[in-house]
Amino acid sequence: MARDFHRDLEQRIDGMTAAVVWDELPPRLVENALAAGEGRLAAGGALAVTTGVYTGRSVRDKFVVRDGLTTDRVWWDNNQAMTPEHFEVLLADMLASLEGRTLHAQHLLAGADPRHQLEVSVFTETSWHALFIRNLLIRPQQVSEAADITILHLPGFVADPVRHGTRSGTVIALDMTRKLVLIGGTAYAGEIKKSVFSLFNFHAPLNDVLPMHCSANIGRDGDTALFFGLSGTGKTTLSNDPERLLIGDDEHGWTRDGVFNLEGGCYAKTVKLSSTAEPEIYEATRSFGTVLENLKLGEDLAPLYDDISLTENTRAAYPLETLPAVAAGGIGGDPRTVVFLTADAFGVLPPISRLTPEQASFHFLSGYTAKVAGTERGITEPVATFSACFGAPFMPLHPTVYGRLLEERLKASGARVYLLNTGWTGGGYGVGRRIDIATTRRLLGAALSGELDDSEMRVEPLFGMQVPLRVDGVPPRALDPRASWNDVEAYDRTAERLQQLFADNFRKFEAVAVAAE
């Protein structure tokens, strides 16, 4: 019945338009985008586009339809509700707006594991958005008659708050029951990608699959590793390792048998991108068919990675096969190592520490990093940021649902869990220094190789995690953040403050966790 709905909807869309052009390949999409003035061709062949007013996700304009399936399942403290009646009016109005127009559509897949694969149909106004989502999802060899998910993406459609129950003229509305997404009033392409992830995050746990906002790679011995972390912690950089094969850089599922990539591409941040620090990503941004989002070009049409005049959230969207070292099939076995990344701007967390399963659950639900002075107006000192499951904006269910699944997977797999701090040492931001990438890579290598499995550890007295006393190639003093501060009393005060921030944040989960026991 679900596929019948999507088949009928595709027919309705086709009937309203002058034409629906299906499954155009990158050369034609680039050609069409340039002819329509949607972007510019950068040096190397990437398509450079801008997204107008919205250069990031419009979190306050995202809604979930509250119906019989969602009313008792969705985490409404974190998700805004839309009535079924408002959604139906919005759908009807968006369909009516299509009369006489041409749409670009793509048949795609989400989920590399065939057992958990979703067929996705995306209809959009512009060629560049069709190229974007073609780059980021999995491109099928064969096309089915109907989809599991339909996305109608109309950046030029302006919602009516009174008529459609929205906050503004921008809307991202998800009907979880029928797996239908309506997007209007924003050209920021990340809304399409994250809508697929949000649908997956709702339905996957119902099928005993843990959805994860993480990157994943696999070593030469077949050992899989996961990397969780918020923006700016190094998730994409550290998972792109020439010695390991990339499974995916952002969204995955973990079944009882292993992990699989939800996507077929990468959506990498490009601000201050370096050809020496991140050569694989750098080359991908200069490949034909890559979409450069809000990235300005120089007179020679080369990307200006340091120019953030439009936004700091500059991005590149490219297929996985653009990279030189990719895991075939987008699938890996049970992880041997799970890494939680944080950029601790307070400068008190160890550069690396090992977590017990209980501590892993705590840090997963916390999803901690810190913003630093200068990243946003009004921030003059480090500010703790907590995002449950390292991706709260995309989590329709309560975080404890995902937390319990993680505990089960960790227990069954026996995976080691590490907290890797890519932030500051010797003091907080403005006093200390950022932990250098060479040290971070050495510590990560020790965790991935199993070198730390039998290392002598000390227990960090305030936070409780285990910290290695020695790692080859790293000075022992660098492993102890307290020893790196000139003022140890200041360290103690700052550490106690951060511990309290963790405790205050975690209180909102305790009542639900106790009730579930």
371 neighbors 382 (Cβ within 8 angstroms): yes
Instruction: From residue 431, give the alpha-carbon distance in Å to each of 346, 381, 382, 421, 476.
Output: 10, 11, 11, 17, 21
Out of 133-147, 325-339, 408-422, which region has the weakest mean confidence (pLDDT)?
Answer: 133-147
CATH of the domain at 57: 3.40.449.10
Q: Is 222 a member of any domain?
A: yes
Q: Is 275 a member of any domain?
A: no
What is the rounded distance in angstroms from the CA atom of residue 379 to the CA atom of residue 372? Answer: 7
Overall domain count for the chain: 2
Residue with tokens 């936004």: 311
- The single-letter code of the amino acid at 298 is G
pLDDT at 515 over 80: no
pLDDT value at position 232? 82
What letter does residue 373 receive in the DSSP assignment? T
Q: Is 292 a member of any domain?
A: no
Local confidence band at 3 (pLDDT 50, 70, 90 cut-offs): confident
pLDDT value at position 343? 95
Residue with tokens 């003022």: 487
pLDDT value at position 375? 41
Q: Are residues 351 and 414 in the same domain?
A: yes
Q: Is 306 a member of any domain?
A: no
% of the chain beyond a pLDDT of 90: 87
pLDDT value at position 516? 45
129 neighbors 153 (Cβ within 8 angstroms): yes
pLDDT value at position 379? 44
Q: Is 163 exposed, middle or buried, given 0-12, 13-18 or 19+ CB atoms closer than 10 A?
A: exposed
75-85: per-residue pLDDT in tens?
999 999 999 99
Q: Are residues 67 and 34 in the same domain?
A: yes
What letter does residue 221 receive in the DSSP assignment? T
Q: Is 277 a member of any domain?
A: no
Q: pLDDT higher for 341 or 379?
A: 341
pLDDT value at position 142? 79
CATH of the domain at 386: 3.90.228.20
Q: Are residues 71 and 146 in the same domain?
A: yes
What is the rounded distance in angstroms from the CA atom of residue 394 to the CA atom of residue 241? Answer: 27
Q: Is 279 exposed, middle or buried, given 0-12, 13-18 or 19+ CB atoms closer than 10 A?
A: middle
pLDDT at 517 over 90: no
Q: Is 142 a member of any domain?
A: yes
Q: Coil, helix or strand for 375?
A: coil
Q: Is 437 exposed, middle or buried, given 0-12, 13-18 or 19+ CB atoms closer than 10 A?
A: middle
Q: Are residues 225 and 168 in the same domain?
A: no
Tokens of 445: 């290598």
Q: Are residues 400 and 469 in the same domain?
A: yes
Tokens of 9: 């909807």
Q: Is 504 a member of any domain?
A: yes
Domain stops at, among 187, 207, 227: 207
Q: Are residues 195 and 228 in the same domain?
A: no
Q: Are residues 497 and 370 in the same domain?
A: yes
Q: Are residues 202 and 215 in the same domain?
A: no
Task: Specify the long-range contacts of residues 19-22, CB closer than 8 Å, at least 24 apart.
Answer: 19/102, 19/103, 20/102, 20/103, 20/104, 20/105, 20/123, 21/102, 21/103, 21/104, 21/105, 22/105, 22/106, 22/107
Q: Are residues 110 and 93 in the same domain?
A: yes
pLDDT value at position 226? 98
pLDDT at 380 over 70: no
Residue-number span of the structural domain to which 473 is assigned: 210-254+334-516
Q: Coil, helix or strand for 112?
A: coil
Q: Coil, helix or strand for 53?
A: coil
pTM over 0.95: no
Average pLDDT (122-136) is 98
pLDDT value at position 278? 87
Instruction: From residue 166, give the alpha-carbon distance in Å to each of 55, 132, 159, 202, 237.
Output: 20, 26, 7, 22, 37
**Pairing status of strand 171-175 against strand 180-184:** antiparallel
pLDDT at 351 over 70: yes
> 421: Cβ–Cβ under 8 A, 6 or more apart, which residues?
342, 343, 344, 349, 350, 351, 352, 435
370 neighbors 434 (Cβ within 8 angstroms): no
Closest CA to 425 of 489, 487, 351: 351
Domain stops at, among 149, 174, 207: 207
Q: Are residues 187 and 225 in the same domain?
A: no
Q: pLDDT higher for 240 or 253?
A: 253
Q: Are residues 407 and 354 in the same domain?
A: yes
Domain stops at, among 207, 241, 268: 207
pLDDT at 185 over 60: yes
Active-site residues: which are they?
Answer: 57, 194, 213, 231, 235-236, 250, 315
Q: Are residues 105 and 231 in the same domain?
A: no
pLDDT value at position 374? 41
